[in-house]
Structure 1
Amino acid sequence: MPYQCFQEARKVLAADREEKLVQIAEQRRRIAKWQAAPAQTQREEGSKKGRLVAMQKHLEDLKILADINDPVIRKRFEDGMGRLPPSFDLDPFYLQRLTFVRSGDMDRPIYRYLADRKWRSYDRKLLMQRIEQHHLVPDILPHLNPTASVSIGFGRRNVQPGQFVGSVISKLPLHLNIQVFDKGLRLVTIAVVDPDVPDVANDSFTSRCHYLAVNIPLSPTNRSVPLRSLNEEKHIVQSWLPPFAQKGAPYHRLAVIVLQQNGESAMDVKDLRKWQTKREGWRLKQLLTHHKELLPVGAGLFRTRWDEGTDGVMERAGLAGVNMEFLRKKGEKNVYKKKDGARYR
């Protein structure tokens, strides 16, 4: 009896999918009709664009609804996508889906939808908690609403948001895995900022740019960004500077910010190098002021502190302040804290 019920349920799912496919074909026909219709005035042109955007969104929703209840897609997503289930039942319902199973990846709206939902269920909440806990907003950015998943790694070591990373490990450029959940190719800018640089002269803190690269292509299927492999002439404005903290100083926050550029137009790397010359005192807010088209879409965070390998890393990188040590200033003696005992004798 359970087997018959399962088969009947699959028939219902197959019929529902066929209905959605008919709706998808009809929606595509409507979109093509609206695209071919001429607009007489500028107002009609704006109304046409708004209508096409809404129709395109409805089309994407129909694509998701057509596959959301497919047990094969659910199984493949839980298995990590791109692999066939171990026991593949070759009945007619699955035979017609065989080609889709073998080529299914993040190009399909259903997998992007499921991945986005899974990321928002836990990983994004953890990231937002770390961003609020370590005050990345407003210390680095005035606001941040992550829509892309950013994973940080050094070599084979994955770094959780806010985790401490040793100086010997972080001396080499990190490896990013940036997963976007909307279709299409886009260019992004990646900045690594340290907002906890001691400013001894002003008895305060300033920020430092540890890395800045622009015009990095990104798509749902092209998500791996090894910083050490980027072309210097096309992308890199500021090369990788190993994170470090002097002895006695508090830990430093290293924020990895991903900013989406406007459309597919590339930024002028040579022009950026002219005014992005200094690292000390560099602020990401100034970059956003000069380039208002940049939109923060993702962030990562790790921390560093002084350890036994810091001095060696600083010497090999040619950094100043290797032998510098910060000591806590002793407070002034309060003469009224302890009263003279002779007066009570």
Structure 2
Amino acid sequence: MFALWRLQPLPRRQRHQRQNRPLAFGGFPVYDEALKIIKADSEVLKVEIREVQASLEAAKKVPEPDTEAIKEIEEKLQYLEIQSEINFPEVQWKCANGMVDLSKAVDRHIIEKRWRKEGALDLLMERIHQMHVVPDVLPDLHPSFDLRVTFPEHRDKNNTPEADVKPKCGFVEPGVYLLPEQPPKLYKDVFHTDERLYTLIIVDLDVPDEAINSYQTFIHWLQ
């Protein structure tokens, strides 16, 4: 059975912090000067952000709004919001240590960039092609958000954890049998703020079909 999601040991927000916090202002003169430059650049961009916001409000108030023009202004506004915050060490540190605020454009941008550039998406696409999901099930596939699934570890009757101890969740090796008491947990990171609907499917690509002496695709679950 193959599910169209990426398995990952732990959701980002539950990982332990592994990096030191950024240096505080006043520790090193050169570092302080760099922070001053970053802050000054951010202030300039925030002035431009206010101007673009005013233009966006004006564009929406006309009797017949130009949807294409509004979209371009919104994209420019998001770009400026990202650029006004992305160079601050504190912003980068928080995103690297699981303190992500998905209501902020800069945080969404940082985690999406890491998902696309640091190997997670590449690994997902590699498995999709290795297991012939593309093109056997779908002619093509372009993931647009990060969906992760974890399973709690199985413990037999002689190794039952205490009631107040939560079982560890993690990656399950292909071929390992899962039991009913091991329900999966799903974690997702979406990189947009507008409302969208998604369909979750669990599909088996290789169900034996004796009638044709071959294999068929079977949908186990759809929601």
Question: Is the TM value for this pair above 0.5?
Answer: yes
In structure 2, the partner of 1:157 is 169
In structure 2, the partner of 1:66 is 84
Distance in 2 separating the partners of 1:168 and 1:123: 24
In structure 1, the partner of 2:55 is 30
Match of 1:168 among 178, 182, 194: 178
Q: Secondary structure at the match of 2:127?
A: helix
Q: Secondary structure at the match of 2:28?
A: helix
Cα offset for 1:139? 1.2
Label 1:23 to 1:12 Cα distance change in 2 as closer, same or farther (>3 A).
Answer: same
**Contact residue 195 and residue 207 of structure 1 kept, 8 A:** yes
**Contact residue 154 and residue 169 of structure 1 kept, 8 A:** no
**Contact residue 152 and residue 177 of structure 1 kept, 8 A:** yes
Label 1:171 to 1:206 Cα distance change in 2 as closer, same or farther (>3 A).
Answer: farther
Structure 1: unaligned runs, 5 residues or longer = 40-44, 83-104, 214-345
Letter of the 2:221 counterpart: Y
Higher strand share: 1
| Counterpart mapping for 1:103-118 below 5 A | 105-118=101-114
Cα offset for 1:166? 2.2
Q: Secondary structure at the match of 1:188?
A: coil
- Are 1:128 and 2:132 counterparts? no
C-alpha distance after superposition, 1:33-84 (max 9, x if no partner): 1111223xxxxx5xx11000011000000000000101111121222216xx
- Are 1:4 and 2:29 counterparts? yes
Cα offset for 1:194? 0.3
Distance in 2 separating the partners of 1:169 and 1:154: 10
Q: Secondary structure at the match of 1:192?
A: strand
Distance in 1 separating the partners of 2:134 and 2:211: 25
In structure 1, the partner of 2:98 is 80
Letter of the 2:32 counterpart: Q
Q: Secondary structure at the match of 1:69?
A: coil
Q: How many pairs align?
A: 182
- Are 1:56 and 2:70 counterparts? no
In structure 1, the partner of 2:10 is none
C-alpha distance after superposition, 1:276-295 (max 9, x if no partner): xxxxxxxxxxxxxxxxxxxx
Distance in 2 separating the partners of 1:170 and 1:176: 16
C-alpha distance after superposition, 1:90-135 (max 9, x if no partner): xxxxxxxxxxxxxxx1111111111001111210011111111111
Q: Secondary structure at the match of 1:206?
A: strand
Higher Cα Rg: structure 1 or 2? 1
Cα offset for 1:22? 0.5
Cα offset for 1:165? 4.5
**Contact residue 154 and residue 170 of structure 1 kept, 8 A:** no
| Counterpart mapping for 1:182-331 below 5 A | 182-213=192-223
In structure 1, the partner of 2:115 is 119
Match of 2:134 among 134, 137, 151: 137
**Contact residue 152 and residue 174 of structure 1 kept, 8 A:** yes
Q: Percent identity?
A: 30
In structure 1, the partner of 2:143 is 146
Q: Secondary structure at the match of 1:7?
A: helix
Q: Secondary structure at the match of 1:112?
A: helix
Structure 2: unaligned runs, 5 residues or longer = 1-26, 153-167
Distance in 2 separating the partners of 1:21 and 1:208: 53
Letter of the 1:185 counterpart: E
Distance in 1 separating the partners of 2:133 and 2:107: 31
Q: TM-score, normalised by structure 2?
A: 0.75
Letter of the 1:64 counterpart: I
Tell me how large the CA RMSD over aligned residues is.
2.0
